A and B are shown apart, each in its own frame.
Chain A
Amino acid sequence: MRRAALRATVLGYLAAILLAPLALVARRAFEGGAGRAWSAVSDPDTVHAFELTLGITAIAVPLNTLFGVVCALAIVRGRFPGKGLLNAFVDLPLALSPVVVGLSLFLLFGRGGWLYGLFEAHGVRVLFAPPSMVLATVFVSLPFVAREVVPALRELGEEQEQAARTLGASSRQTFRRITLPAIRWALVYGVVLTTARCLGEYGAVAVVSGRIEGRTETATLRVQDRYESLDLTGAYGISLALAAIAVCVLVAMTLLRPRREA
């Protein structure tokens, strides 16, 4: 009885918070018919926005996966001064508002910034161009892989790796054959979270991109743009497409993940 009540509460809460708004978005998107919804989403600027979002994600996710694993190894296995600081700094992007991240990039690369002379002064566009948008996205999606992999590494312990070493494996072979298989599901989950965060990034990118239609407008920025231009069908259509991508990523992960480890 109590379990049924608990289940109903949780499901009801989820429905109210997540599913209802999403359903409403879907209904609004198709209000003018599927044809209008499709033409709104297949508008060239919108297509470009999606390509840009996916492109940025395709750069940011591998970078943060690599960084996340190295960082987790350093946090769990490393013996160096400043380890506690590293551990704390990894979480910084979670605590910091993305808008602040965007603003600091602006100060860094803009006229008079510390790195202005290195790039912008030589005609290399960073601000109002994809590089700054990639940087902003990398920063905000930084912690997820490391946060997932750290507990998995702790649980693995060092003995299996040491055993592999005594059996003749080099550190690279040990990582590939022992460490990686042990952390792979944590890694997959971290990658999924990172991907989701990259796809949905708004605040930091909004500050550094300049939001130039058809050039530096990502999918989330495009939603805002359409909304402000009173193209509600477009706004809802793009939102729905973003939600669909997110659902696909989650479903893919659920299918990949073996049942016993779920």
Chain B
Amino acid sequence: MSIAISGVSKRFGSFTALDDVSVEVATGSLTALLGPSGSGKSTLLRVVAGLERPDAGSVAIGGRDVTGRPPQERGVGFVFQHYAAFKHMTVWDNVAFGLTIRKRPRAEIRERVAELLALVQLEGLARRYPAQLSGGQRQRMGLARALAVDPEVLLLDEPFGALDARVRGELRAWLRRLHDETRTTTVVVTHDQEEAMEVADEIVVMNHGRVEQVAGPRELYEHPANEFVLTFVGGANRLGDAFVRPHDLELAHEPGATTREAMVRRIAHVGFEVRLELVREDGQPLSVQLTRDEAEQLELERGQIVHVRPLRETTFS
């Protein structure tokens, strides 16, 4: 089901969480709402779910205006950052909740819950209580619970934000596979640009309650609409009026026509890449990304003077 958000505004006291936001989410897509904290991305997701009432604007799911409708009438599945597990129920009862509420036949519930627990690999833990699960397991339970009612739209609010990096990576890949299989329209809120790029077809970048840009991961990185998107997605150095990505800088030992002088302040080896922190003569910092081989050839050392040349620059008029 498609989601159409138009002209939505929401204030909390004097804080403007959403400022006239309009976003279209296509049927069957996986869309990420990306932004720093306080950008309004979670509020927007909660408005879609009906957990927050907008001050202005409307929300339609599958062409049906649901603006005034309560959450239970919207056909959405919602996954919370802190799991929102029903603590007094077993894993099984948590997953069965939506079906029990809908008074489905017992045999159907049993079959569906077993199927979902297998899907999220929690078969053996059905009789446990949430307190007896790890964070990753709890969130998988949260996903199974949301999927149990066959939602038209799956909404995930920073679903992996409270998990450690490895589990986060696994669940991210799993979510992507799940979406490829089910093709349920999915919206995931994240502040992690890497997560958004890896998982989503389409990314909505938000800042200060407004939409900065809507684009696919590649388009977003290569053609950012403005300075905020450029610096938030991937990071960039400022050289005069232009911006340069850290990997679009070339280093050399000898000065050239278009080079600038800088000193190596820090070298960090992060797997296949080497991250350098340089300082220019005027004191401005520069971050540079090199491959391991490039760095080895240059034989860099701390305190060394190098000459930097930008390979690709972006300017905003």
Contacts and interface: CB of A to CB of B under 8 A. Distances in A.
The reply to whether chain A is a binding partner of chain B is yes
Interface of A: 159-160, 162-171, 173, 177-178, 181-182
A164 B98 CA distance: 8
Contacts of B146: 166-167
Nearest to A162: B51
B49 A159 contact: no
Interface string B115-150: 000000000000000000000000000100110110
15 contacts: A159-B80, A160-B85, A160-B87, A162-B51, A163-B80, A163-B86, A164-B97, A165-B50, A165-B51, A166-B76, A167-B97, A167-B98, A167-B146, A170-B70, A171-B70
B88 interface: yes
Contacts of B82: 159
A119 B102 CA distance: 49
Residue of B51, B74, B149 most packed against chain A (CB within 10 A): B51
Which of A165, A168, A169, A170 is most buried by chain B, counting CB atoms within 10 A of its CB?
A: A168
Contact of A166 (B49, B87, B102): B49
Contacts of A166: 49-51, 71-72, 74, 76-78, 146
A168 B102 contact: yes
A170 B101 CA distance: 9
Nearest to A167: B98
Given A163-B80, A163-B142, A167-B145, 9 more contacts: A159-B82, A160-B85, A162-B80, A166-B50, A167-B149, A168-B72, A168-B101, A168-B102, A182-B88
Contacts of A162: 51, 71, 78, 80, 84
Nearest to B100: A177
Contacts of B80: 159, 162-163
Contacts of A177: 97, 101
A173 B100 CA distance: 11
A163 B146 CA distance: 9
The list of the 9 closest CB pairs from A to B, nearest first, reads: A167-B98, A159-B84, A166-B78, A163-B84, A165-B71, A181-B88, A168-B72, A168-B101, A166-B71
Contacts of A181: 88
A185 to B, nearest CB: 11
A21 B84 CA distance: 50
B72 A169 contact: yes
A178 to B, nearest CB: 6
B155 to A, nearest CB: 8
Interface in B142-194: 142, 145-146, 148-149
Interface string B49-86: 11100000000000000000011101011101010111
Contacts of B76: 166
Contacts of A160: 84-87
Contacts of A165: 50-51, 70-72
Nearest to B86: A160
Nearest to B76: A166
A116 to B, nearest CB: 46
Most buried by A among B78, B85, B142, B146: B78
B257 to A, nearest CB: 60
Contacts of B50: 165-166
